[in-house]
Amino acid sequence: MFLLEEELAALDAAEPRDAWLLIRPAADCADPTWPERLVSMYRDWAHLRGMTITDESPSGDAHLLDVSGFAAFRLLRRETGLHVWEAPRDDRGGARPGTVRNAALVVCTPQTERPPDNGTAAPRVITRRYRDQPSPLVRDVARGWRTGRLATVLAGNFDLIA
């Protein structure tokens, strides 16, 4: 029902249905697995919603995902921005442990347009922050929610939490 309602709203607003999703590490991303985890999250999201998703650029550090299905663009457009993985830094000599931030840029565009190039024109705002230590927490700036259910979000259910 959720997807049908979104698809009808997209039709009423004459919005495109399908989306391009570009995912690439930010310049200062030290963890190459972080963008891969996001790709996995979006694949799980698409699978759970009966959508098709194809990686159009399986080599290199950037992924261009072709996402097709009910209201794909409408549901993914707020994903554009930086997705930041926060991990504790192992500062043995410091008074307070710091945080290492690994960021990946996500850019969503409708398939009625050209696929995004490398995302250089995308806004550099933080869309979502993720961490698993000292306690799991996900903060979604775009939608205005926070949850301790990190595993649920990374399993593809980021659009169902409010």
| Structural domain includes residue 14 | no
Torsion of CA 88, 90, 93, 98, to 10 degrees: -20
| Structural domain includes residue 162 | no
Q: Are 85 and 102 in contact (CB under 8 A)?
A: yes
| Structural domain includes residue 35 | yes
pLDDT mean for each 10 residues of the chain (162 residues): 59 73 88 93 95 84 91 91 87 59 92 74 84 94 94 94 75
| Structural domain includes residue 92 | yes
Q: What is the pLDDT of residue 126?
A: 93
Global pTM reads 0.84
| Structural domain includes residue 13 | no
Tell me which H or E stretch contains 4.
Answer: helix 2-12
* CA-derived radius of gyration, the chain: 16
Q: Give the residue numbers spanning the domain of 51.
A: 2-7+19-157
Q: How far apart are the C-alpha atoms of 42 and 162, rounded to whole Å?
A: 18
Would you say how long the chain is, in residues? 162
Q: Are 109 and 115 in contact (CB under 8 A)?
A: yes
| Structural domain includes residue 12 | no
SS3 43: helix
CATH number, domain containing residue 86: 3.30.70.1660
Residue bearing tokens 């347009």: 113
Cross-strand partners of 102: 85
Strand order in the sheet with 145-147: 52-55, 63-68, 19-25, 99-110, 81-88, 126-131, 137-140, 145-147
At 60-73, the pLDDT tens digits run 789 999 999 988 99
| Structural domain includes residue 24 | yes
Number of domains in the chain: 1
Whole-number average pLDDT of the chain: 84
Q: Please return the burial class of 28, using the count of CB atoms within 10 Å of its CB with bins 0-12, 13-18 and 19+.
A: exposed
